[in-house]
Amino acid sequence: MSMSFGSNRIRAVLASLAFTICGLNSAEASDKPVAELPSASRNAALDAPLSAAGFEVAVTVDDLPLQGEPIQGSSRLSIARAFLAELKSRRVPEVMGFINAGAPADLGETDAVLRAWRRAGYPLGNHTLTHLSLSDARSFDDWKANVEGNEQYLIRYMGSKGWRYMRLPNLTTGRSKERHDSAVDYLDARRYRLAEVSVSFGDWAYVEAYKRCTMQRDEAGIAALEATYFDQVDRGLLRMKLLSQLLYSRQIRQVLVMHLSAWSVRTLPGVLSRIEAAGGRYITLARALDDPAYREPAAERGKGLLLERVATRRNMPLPGQVLNRPDLAVAGVCRNSSRAGNIP
Ligand SMILES: [Zn+2]
């Protein structure tokens, strides 16, 4: 499907987003410039339909049994249980958890987390045994072994069906075209469905800073992290809708990636409330991936976030105001226990 957009149309929609996000706070947290805007950009008529546009979204969760370490007073299992309870209370269907069964964790606890996920009625998918990315793997054979080493656990918890979904670690396909193409061919031959991602709020980047803040009992630092994160969620939802409208002339079915962590369990209620307030309706991953938007050319499949990838391919200016390195933005928070954390 080919779409063409006049530059006036693009500028008008970019302007509508800029107008909307101007209403949000902490613009200083951004490290990406907003596209240059025409002076008469404040067009509320354009802004309103985009904010009100409903959308479907599949919630997916990476790095089971846990990204990072549990914080004091919690365990991998207690975090997973609280996360699952929140998802169930919001009636989020079939949340696929992507597992690293060989992650450095207590084996009994890993087992308990994966069992809890299944008891909640949610499926599991492959994220490689030890979170080995195609960029980090020394050889393609090493990577294949890491994929296949995870499968015995998927079979243990899922049986023979329903787990052949691959979420690539770090959403990377390696540094060479050869490795990308080998991986795509291999996953096709092994009957995996590539679990593409269209939207992320960068939750992974807050885990270490949150751990520091909790160890220092720095409530101001935690509040600063939350303010930045929820602001990024709001901006990310608007950006997602804008890119979808520009690239596909409609709201495509979205796939959101989150990571199971002490940070994500703390912020999950706020994230889900924002998704719902923005018009999000939860769907399964299979339904999302059936959207024609995910039928990408073979040479492009799996490369980073879908919407950013397609926008870049079409030389479309990416709307600003989301952090492209959230890890750097929060790196200074709670570094010094004598000082309240501030987002640099
Ligand atoms: Zn991961």
CATH of the domain at 98: 3.20.20.370
- DSSP E strand boundaries for 65-202: 96-99, 124-126, 165-166, 193-194, 199-200
* pLDDT of amino acid 324: 82
DSSP helix/strand/coil, 111: helix
pLDDT of residue 280: 98
Reduce the DSSP state of residue 146 to 3 states and report it. Answer: helix
Distance 62 CA to ligand 1 centre (A): 5
Residue 120, classified by CB atoms within 10 Å of its CB into exposed (0-12), middle (13-18) or buried (19+), is middle
Distance 13 CA to ligand 1 centre (A): 33
Which single residue is written with the structure tokens 């409609």? Answer: 250
333: in domain: no
Mean per-residue pLDDT, 53-77: 94
Per DSSP bridges, beta strands 254-259 and 55-64 are parallel
Contacts of 303 (CB under 8 A, 6+ apart): 171, 172, 173, 180, 309
User: Residue 140 is encoded by which pair of tokens?
Assistant: 């393609």
Closest CA to 133 of 203, 208, 63: 63
Give the Cα separation of 224 and 212 in Å (integer): 13
What separation in Å is there between the alpha carbon of 35 and the centre of ligand 1?
Answer: 31
Rg of the Cα atoms in the chain: 20
pLDDT given for residue 8 in this prediction: 55
Q: Which residue's structure tokens are 């018009």? A: 279
Find the 319 Cα to ligand 1 centroid distance in Å.
26
Structure tokens at 157: 């918890």
340 assigned to some structural domain: no
> Percent of the chain scored above 90 by pLDDT?
75
Taking the C-alpha atoms of residue 181 and residue 36, their distance in angstroms, rounded to an integer, is: 37
Using CA atoms, how far apart are residues 64 and 334, in angstroms rounded to an integer? Answer: 26
Alpha carbon distance 82, 88 (integer Å): 10
Q: How many structural domains are present in the chain?
A: 1
In-domain check, residue 337? no
Question: Can you read off the two tokens belonging to residue 14?
Answer: 């970019």
The whole-angstrom separation of Cα 180 and Cα 174 is 6
Residue tagged 């294949």 (tokens) = 144
CA 194 – CA 124 distance, rounded (Å): 14
Q: How confident is the model at residue 166 (pLDDT cuts 50, 70, 90)?
A: very high
d(CA 214, ligand 1 centre) in Å:
23
The answer as to whether 335 is a domain residue is no
Q: Separation of 127 CA from ligand 1 center, angstroms?
A: 7
Is the pLDDT reported for residue 35 higher than 50? no
Cβ-based neighbours of 30, under 8 Å, separated by 6 or more: 320, 321, 322, 323
List pLDDT tens digits, range 207-227: 999 999 999 999 999 999 999
Tokens representing 335 are 């570094």
Measured in Å, residue 63 CA sits from the centre of ligand 1 at 5
Residue 334 lies in a domain: no
Residue with tokens 């050869």: 178
If DSSP codes are grouped into helix, strand and coil, which group holds residue 170? helix
Rounded CA gap, 244 and 293, in Å? Answer: 10
37-54 pLDDT, tens digit per residue, is 233 333 344 455 677 789
Inside any domain, residue 332:
no
**pLDDT confidence band for 262 (50 / 70 / 90):** very high
Which residues have a beta carbon within 5 Å of ligand 1, which is an ion?
62-63, 169
Q: In which domain, by residue range, is 289 found?
A: 7-327
pLDDT in tens, 180-200: 999 999 999 999 999 999 999
Q: What is the pLDDT of residues 101-127, one digit of tens each?
A: 999 888 899 999 999 999 999 999 999
| 14 falls within a domain | yes
Q: How far is the CA of 141 from the centre of ligand 1 (A)?
A: 20
Among residues 293, 246, 250, 311, the alpha carbon closest in space to that of 6 is found at: 246
Flag whether 42 is in a domain: yes
Cβ count within 10 A of residue 24: 14
The residue among 336 and 116 whose pLDDT is bigger is 116
The pLDDT confidence band at residue 318, using thresholds 50, 70 and 90, is: confident
* Cα angle 244, 180, 67; round to 5: 70
